Amino acid sequence: MTHNDINHNQGPMEIICVACPKGCRLEVRREQGEILVSNAGCKRGIDYAVGEINDPRRMVASTVRVNNCLHPLVPVYTESPFPKGMIKDLLHEIRGVQIDAPVKIGQVIIKNALNTGINIISSRDLN
């Protein structure tokens, strides 16, 4: 079950909080449009659960092919957390990219990926 399923499903769902390493198992349900969270050890857990339901995002890291270089790949990552539901499409887009060395750390590899406003940038220098 993905987190978005809660919107179609009235039963409670479990979300493991990662706001801190404790890993509270939150029980989340939606009642008349309200998101209700139980079992949270602190308030941060409630914020986490609401974020996970409304707009789940993740940092994504991968690699792109680079020509004439020390290594065949350069590591890249999303400048900020990326919408979870679009990660598969993002990976597809990243897989199609090929660039030439040298690469600088922080260099934009894909601008405004999938119109999210989020750039994909290089994690390191590579010559």
Partner 1 sequence: MSNKVYDVVVVGSGPGGLAAAISAKKNGANSILVIERDIELGGILLQCIHNGFGVEIFKEDLPGPSYAQRFIDEALNLGIESLLDTMVLEAAPDRRLTVTSKQNGLQEIQAKALIFAMGCRERTRAQVQLPGSRPAGVYTAGTAQRWVNVEGFMPGKRFVILGSGDIGMIMARRLTFEGAKVERVLEIMPYLSGLTRNYVQCLHDFDIPLQLQHTVKRIIGSERVEAIETVAVNDHWEHIPGSEEIIPCDTLLLSVGLIPENELSRQVGVILDPVTGGPVVDSYFHTNIDGIFAAGNVVHVYDLVDWVTKAGYAAGKGAALYAQGKLGNPEHTIQSSAGKNVRYVVPQKIDPRALTQQVIPLQMRVTHPIESPVWVEAVVNEERLIRRSLPYARPGEMITLNLKPNLAGKIKSASEIKINIIER
What is the DSSP code (8-state) at residue 29? E
- Based on the shown chain and the rule CB under 8 A, indicate whether residue 102 belongs to the binding site for partner 1: no
User: Closest CB to partner 1 among 15 and 31?
Assistant: 15
Q: How far apart are CA 94 and CA 76, in angstroms?
A: 9
Q: Give the one residue of 5, 7, 9, 18 binding partner 1; rule: CB under 8 A.
A: 18
User: What SS3 string covers 33-69?
Assistant: CEEEEECCCCHHHHHHHHHHHHCCEECCEEEEEEECC
- Based on the shown chain and the rule CB under 8 A, indicate whether residue 111 belongs to the binding site for partner 1: no
The site for partner 1 (CB under 8 A) is made up of 16, 18, 21-23, 41, 58-59, 61-63, 65, 70-73, 75, 77, 84, 91, 105, 123-125
